Amino acid sequence: MSDERIALDKKMILERYRALIHALDERSTAQDRRMVRRAVDLALDAHKGVRRKTGEPYVLHPLEVALIVLQEIGLGPTSATAAILHDVVEDSDYTLEDIERLFGEKIARIVDGLTKIKGVFDPQASEQAENFRKMLLTLGDDVRVILVKLADRLHNMRTLDGMPEGKQAKIASETLYIYAPLAHRLGLYNIKTELEDLSLKYTEPEVYRDIERRLKASVASEYRFLKRFSAPIRAMMEQEGLKFTLKERTKSISSIRKKMINQGVSFDEVYDKFAIRIILDTDSDQEKAAIWKVYSIVANLYRPNPERMRDWISSPKSNGYESLHTTVMGQDGHWVEVQIRSRRMDEQAELGMASHWKYKEEEVVDNRLESWIKMIREALESPDSNALEFVDDFKFNLFSDDIFVFTPKGEIKTLPKGSSPLDFSFEIHTDIGLRTLGAKVNGKLVQLNYKLRSGDQVEIITSAKQKPKEEWLHFVVTSKARTKIRASLQSERRSVAERGREILERKLNFVKVKPSEKVLQDLTNFMELPDSQELFYQAGMELLDNEKLRAFAREQGGGFLTQIRNRWRRPANDARGEAKTPGAAQPTRLVFGPEEQALEYKLSPCCNPIPGDAVFGFLTASEGIKVHRTDCPNAIALRSRFASRVMSARWISAEVSEFVAVLRVRGIDTVGLVNKVTQIISNDLNVNIRSINIHGEGGLFEGSITVVVGNKVHLQNIMQEIRKVDGVRSVERHVRE
């Protein structure tokens, strides 16, 4: 290595170290700074000579993570030291005992948790869900483990350009699936937003670049508008003698993308891309009065949208977020979101649950945090719970809004929005949940699938004879309720299956078939059941068809079973070595993997990819390779949960083929509009229309058009021409959730 390169490395490391010391503000002691310096020295030795994919010295990564911990999450020297050391045990000869001897038990405990997490997301692992469950167990030891891990993930996302494209998509999908929701739940909104933006950059790069370009093109005019909008508010607040800070901003790229998808609109039709935040300097006992005073000033100047009012100062979110949000009509017909909060609330909003460590890095007791961790541990209790189901349930509870309901004695319970009386009963106690017979809400009997609302008072009716039913899983949303119901059902199912095996073996002996393990597996396949446990369960429930059982006995010993097994097998290649999609004689359109092999595949109906779309292959358990678009609604979950089963895919040129695409069209209902659209598609563009379904109401229309196209460029040309029709406001390609 050249002297110049060595000098440059030293300069970069020294700059980061000085930034670290500067970030340790006046609350840190000389002892804290010495501890950080010792950690940096140890990290330098442990990572000596190692470089990242970007070419930088590896030690810059833990230093940057420590800076995020200090500056963006607001933790102190203990967490910063753990961040500096977070890769040392995994990547060098230093042991956890060395860390404890040099830095104490507390830092060693955090480093231990971070070391365990590093092995959780093994890029070679076929499924990540079981390991994710293990990661969450560290929450009970010290939440700072997760906070430092979020900082680690944020820096990795910021430097993802140095990774191969496939790895980028996998890491970004994993980030969207778990880490962004975790940051949301912990109240780290800035980090959550940046993680979502960076993830979108790598999962849907074209969409990200398009929105980014549009925002940059309009940013100057938007900020001029916001300055003009906020000027009268500033003047009125100053006149009232209020002390405040007012910030103008535009929404994030990922937030705009979500609105475009959820509302089915284009970028130009997202009506509240603008926002201002008013932060009040006021005493804690005067906070609410001051906030409502500012709201009255805003409402007097601009017309509020009553459906967009969010009062989180009267009822804070479960992660502690407090703020008053309103959306008002500004000048030129633009909607603007106004957020009003106190300085204390703003700090809580910026740092979330991490704010408890801002002034002291001691063990902190927080009721919201304790109840959340308790929920996680209860969900993890059951050894029989399915890991993938747990992760899905957990993710839902991370992002869900909260409602507040009351017991008959007036005790308040916090539940996710959409909860039922069953969720409430399991929140009270597991035994009450398992024996729930009915429920009264506000004194009236309701069904168990009733959706609770904030302010409801709930009384649970129980019976010692009641047992959970399969349909209950459709009524509940909380992880605790789903886990307990599944565990109870599985326990009952195992008992039935044990009886069923004995019954089945007696039946097989009766038809002169010896019930060996191979025979039982062959019978499972013959009955077209997923596994032998289901076979035993159906036998125990007396659901097996005895005639089919006798048919199985007659066919034992011959080639029938072989025919059954081979019935669905098709060669991947024909005589010329060309792969074919099942049931079709079309030429190869896709190649898979780094070696670009021609393999058998099916186009997934959930997103209906066509040539030109960015796609990937997913190896299913029973249907071979299914091809999905990279922006498919299922893409994030597939890439995050089953990374090793995802295959890169690329379209190759072949003979012209036809593909079906569905367009969702919206706009203003005008005379002859359908005729104009169909004429453009059929006559002008000479495209075949498979079906068209358009309906209008209240002066607006919405509908779908199914067309047959050759490739993505062909489809984009059609969409561009339809957008030119007078009255058409948006044309989007439709995918099924």
Q: Give per-residue pLDDT as tens, 71-114.
A: 888 888 998 999 999 999 888 889 999 999 999 988 998 888 78
pTM: 0.62
**What is the rounded CA–CA span in Å between residue 525 and residue 563?**
12
Angle at which helices 96-103 and 30-46 pack, to 10 degrees? 160
What are the backbone angles phi and psi of residue 2, rounded to the nearest 5°? -70, 155
| One domain for residues 375 and 353 | no
- Residue 111 confidence (pLDDT): 87
Query: Concatenated DSSP letters for 344-374?
Result: HHHHHHHHGGGGGGSS--S----HHHHHHHH
Neighbours of 560 (CB within 10 A): 14
In a domain, residue 418? The reply is yes
Query: Concatenated DSSP letters for 316-348?
Result: --TT----EEEEEE-GGG-EEEEEEEEHHHHHH
> What average pLDDT does the segment 381-401 reach?
53
- Residue 508 confidence (pLDDT): 85
Neighbours of 49 (CB within 10 A): 7
What are the backbone angles phi and psi of residue 309, rounded to the nearest 5°? -85, 130
The answer on pLDDT for 375 being more than 80 is: no
Residue written as token pair 């598609």: 681
Strand partners, 660: 708
| One domain for residues 301 and 444 | no
Residues near 564 by beta carbon (within 8 Å), at least 6 away in sequence = 525, 526
Strand partners, 688: 708
Strand partners, 436: 462
Residues near 463 by beta carbon (within 8 Å), at least 6 away in sequence = 435, 437
> What average pLDDT does the segment 184-211 reach?
89
In a domain, residue 570? The reply is no
Identify whether the C-beta of residue 59 lies closer than 8 Å to the C-beta of residue 43: yes
Residues near 597 by beta carbon (within 8 Å), at least 6 away in sequence = 591
Q: Which of 432, 461, 484 is the last residue of a domain?
A: 484
**What is the rounded CA–CA span in Å between residue 376 and residue 335?**
39
- Residue 393 confidence (pLDDT): 56
- Residue 657 confidence (pLDDT): 61
In a domain, residue 388? The reply is yes
Strand partners, 248: 276
Neighbours of 510 (CB within 10 A): 11
- Residue 654 confidence (pLDDT): 54
How sure is the predictor about 574, in pLDDT bands with cuts at 50, 70 and 90? very low
- Residue 84 confidence (pLDDT): 95
Q: How far is CA 418 from the centre of its chain?
A: 18
Angle at which helices 129-136 and 367-381 pack, to 10 degrees? 140
| One domain for residues 632 and 496 | no
Neighbours of 604 (CB within 10 A): 24
Rounded alpha-carbon distances, angstroms, from residue 724 to 4, 236, 353, 721, 729: 59, 45, 50, 5, 9
In a domain, residue 633? The reply is yes
Neighbours of 514 (CB within 10 A): 10
CATH code where residue 387 lies: 3.10.20.30
How sure is the predictor about 354, in pLDDT bands with cuts at 50, 70 and 90? low
> What average pLDDT does the segment 536-562 reach?
73
Q: How many CA atoms lie within 13 A of 139 on its CB side?
A: 21
Q: Which of 324, 357, 390 is the last residue of a domain?
A: 357
Q: Which two structure tokens, joined as six digits, stand for 697?
A: 């109401």
* Percent of the chain whose pLDDT exceeds 90: 22
| One domain for residues 147 and 180 | yes
Measured over the CA atoms of residue 29, residue 35, residue 40 and residue 41, the dihedral's sign is positive
Identify whether the C-beta of residue 63 lies closer than 8 Å to the C-beta of residue 84: yes
Query: Concatenated DSSP letters for 705-731?
Result: EEEEESSHHHHHHHHHHHHTSTTEEEE
612-622 pLDDT per residue, tens: 888 999 988 77
- CA proximity to 381, closest of 109, 140, 149: 140
Kindly give the residue spans of alpha helices, DSSP state H, lying in 119-266.
129-136, 144-158, 165-174, 180-185, 189-203, 205-239, 253-263
| One domain for residues 441 and 452 | yes
Higher pLDDT, 402 or 523: 523
429-486 pLDDT per residue, tens: 889 999 999 999 988 889 999 999 877 889 999 998 888 988 898 889 887 888 888 8
- Residue 292 confidence (pLDDT): 95
276-296 pLDDT per residue, tens: 999 999 988 899 999 999 999
- CA proximity to 564, closest of 525, 535, 600: 525
- CA proximity to 496, closest of 450, 533, 550: 533
| One domain for residues 46 and 75 | yes
**What is the rounded CA–CA span in Å between residue 625 and residue 630?**
15
> How many domains does the structure of the chain reveal?
6
584-614 pLDDT per residue, tens: 334 447 888 876 777 888 888 888 888 888 8
| One domain for residues 611 and 515 | no
Measured over the CA atoms of residue 17, residue 18, residue 21 and residue 25, the dihedral's sign is negative
Q: Which two structure tokens, joined as six digits, stand for 592?
A: 């898979």
How sure is the predictor about 182, in pLDDT bands with cuts at 50, 70 and 90? confident
| One domain for residues 465 and 507 | no
Class of residue 575 by CB neighbours under 10 A (exposed 0-12, middle 13-18, buried 19+) = exposed
- Residue 378 confidence (pLDDT): 56
- Residue 529 confidence (pLDDT): 81
Identify whether the C-beta of residue 359 lies closer than 8 Å to the C-beta of residue 448: no
Identify whether the C-beta of residue 247 lies closer than 8 Å to the C-beta of residue 276: yes
Class of residue 467 by CB neighbours under 10 A (exposed 0-12, middle 13-18, buried 19+) = exposed
In a domain, residue 441? The reply is yes
In a domain, residue 212? The reply is yes
**What is the rounded CA–CA span in Å between residue 478 and residue 4?**
58
495-525 pLDDT per residue, tens: 888 888 888 888 888 888 888 888 888 888 8
The answer on pLDDT for 177 being more than 90 is: no
11-33 pLDDT per residue, tens: 999 999 999 988 887 668 889 89
How sure is the predictor about 368, in pLDDT bands with cuts at 50, 70 and 90? low
Rounded to the nearest integer, the mean pLDDT of the chain is: 80
**What is the rounded CA–CA span in Å between residue 385 and residue 378?**
11
Residue written as token pair 């103008």: 248
217 is in which domain, residue-wise? Answer: 206-357
| One domain for residues 642 and 723 | no
Identify whether the C-beta of residue 184 lies closer than 8 Å to the C-beta of residue 399: yes
- Residue 567 confidence (pLDDT): 39
**What is the rounded CA–CA span in Å between residue 583 and residue 603?**
12
Class of residue 78 by CB neighbours under 10 A (exposed 0-12, middle 13-18, buried 19+) = buried
- Residue 563 confidence (pLDDT): 40
Strand partners, 304: 328
**What is the rounded CA–CA span in Å between residue 116 and residue 107?**
14
Strand partners, 695: 702
Strand partners, 625: 601, 619
- Residue 118 confidence (pLDDT): 56
- DSSP one-letter code for 138: G
| One domain for residues 59 and 170 | yes
Judged by DSSP in three states, 666 sits in strand
Q: Which of 177, 203, 229 is the last residue of a domain?
A: 203
| One domain for residues 324 and 429 | no
The answer on pLDDT for 428 being more than 80 is: yes
In a domain, residue 41? The reply is yes
Angle at which helices 189-203 and 144-158 pack, to 10 degrees? 40
- Residue 689 confidence (pLDDT): 83
- Residue 423 confidence (pLDDT): 92
Residue written as token pair 């078939």: 513
Rounded alpha-carbon distances, angstroms, from residue 687 to 607, 650, 674: 21, 26, 15
In a domain, residue 634? The reply is yes
> What average pLDDT does the segment 229-254 reach?
91
> What average pLDDT does the segment 539-557 reach?
79
The answer on pLDDT for 578 being more than 60 is: no
**What is the rounded CA–CA span in Å between residue 597 and residue 347?**
54
Q: Which two structure tokens, joined as six digits, stand for 238?
A: 């100053």
Q: Active-site positions?
A: 90-91
Rounded alpha-carbon distances, angstroms, from residue 80 to 68, 159, 331, 358: 9, 20, 46, 12
| One domain for residues 166 and 235 | no
How sure is the predictor about 319, in pLDDT bands with cuts at 50, 70 and 90? low
